[in-house]
Amino acid sequence: MAETIGLSILKGIVSFLINPLTYISLVAAFMIGLSRVKRDRRDFHTRVHDVLDDVKFAIVPGIIAGISILILNLLLGLVVPMGIVLAISISAILILVTGQMRFLSPAFVFILPVLAALYYEPIDLGSEWLNSWQTGFDSVSLIALALIAGLLLIVEGVLIHQNARKQTSPRLVRSKRGKLVGAHEVQRLWLLPLFLFLPSGAIEASSWWPLLEFGDQTYSFLILPLPIGFRKLIHHTLPAPEIKRNGIHVVTVGVFATLLATVSYFVNAEWLALSVFPLIVILRAAILLLHRGMNKPAYFNERNEGLVILGILPESPADQMNLQVGEVISKVNGLSLGNGTDFYTALQQNAAFCKLQVLDFNGEIRFEQRALYNDQHHELGLLFVKEQRLDDSIDYAKES
């Protein structure tokens, strides 16, 4: 049995590598990075993070999440027919091509597969191979789909909580009143290897497995490349705590959906499993609205006294100091900032050394200092909100 499962897993890995959705997702992640770097150069005349960082974020966390699904499904044996696999792939591709990463959530991706399971009638495509991709719509277990959707929402929430808050991208936007303010954007795409069982194959059923018997006595293994996306523009607060709260809310919805699907399994009620899908769509959409932050004042803005740190360039002098995004630099080399005093001008008071007076998140003052060298960034690698011409700046109320 173990050898058969191992061989099936190997075939599943091959199916993942030859699936076009794998490469469409990686290209999309690369384009996200390319767009981010272009925007960085427009706003700050420098690149903040490397263009390939988004591709690395897509692969590594997704594989780790996929392994957790693999272990769980090896025990449960949730079976999905080929027609539903195709519907999930089509749904993900349709959302990907729109570029709306905020809707690339399992809650929205599963709308098309569920509708197909309820209403789609297979048609003759003139090819036995093509017709085989339409099988199973009438026999799919809605309980299995609900369990998968709930578990994937938990995974999505964990990815948002643990990964989306890393390397958020600073940017400059226009407020409703036309004032230049700062914001942090995170646009992330994770490529999750979703381990599923298909009806028919070399893996034999046992007395306790699979959890939901599909009607066949043998099963095969498939790894479906499932992209999960997240996008958020944060202007009203610090990015990390806001993103963590967002992740917790998504996990909560996933746990609720999984519990409801579990109850439907024990009472054998597919109608209860079916109710999971409109609920998670409504709740996931509510989370999008809840975290928009509309009509809230901008956190990163120009102030009369001090400069708010909008961003810190990696491996810059500021990155090596104990400075955090969102803190306020009130003095440089004894000169108060604000009222027209430029940060660079204050630094030039001592070309070999700088001493910063910093106001932390608790309103307490501390001092940071270090030596300066000719080959280092002229502003220590700190990014601030500075009034300048932005031809394609956006209204943050529409993007948040």
Average pLDDT score, the chain: 86
Q: What share of the chain is helix, strand, coil (3-state, %, to 5)?
A: 45, 20, 35
* CA nearest neighbour of 146 among 317, 270, 242: 270
The pTM of this model reads 0.89
**Which residue is it, tokens 């031809």?**
391
CB neighbour class for 194 (10 Å; exposed up to 12, middle 13-18, buried from 19): buried
Instruction: Please tell me the total number of residues recorded for the chain in this structure.
Output: 400
Where do the structural domains in the chain lie, given as residue ranges? 2-290, 307-384
CB neighbour class for 71 (10 Å; exposed up to 12, middle 13-18, buried from 19): exposed
- The per-residue pLDDT for range 352-369, each reduced to its tens digit, is 888 899 998 888 999 988
- The per-residue pLDDT for range 297-343, each reduced to its tens digit, is 888 888 778 889 999 998 888 888 889 999 999 888 888 886 556 78
Show the tokens assigned to 260.
């409801």
- The per-residue pLDDT for range 5-64, each reduced to its tens digit, is 667 677 778 888 888 999 999 999 999 999 999 999 988 888 888 989 999 999 999 999
Q: Are 48 and 170 in contact (CB under 8 A)?
A: yes
Q: Are 223 and 16 in contact (CB under 8 A)?
A: yes
Q: Which CATH superfamily includes the segment(s) 307-384?
A: PDZ domain (2.30.42.10)
* CA nearest neighbour of 399 among 185, 242, 221, 152: 185
pLDDT at 110 over 70: yes
Residue 395: CB atoms within 10 A of its CB come to 12
Euclidean distance between the first and the last CA atom of the chain, given in angstroms as a whole number: 51
Q: Are 210 and 219 in contact (CB under 8 A)?
A: yes
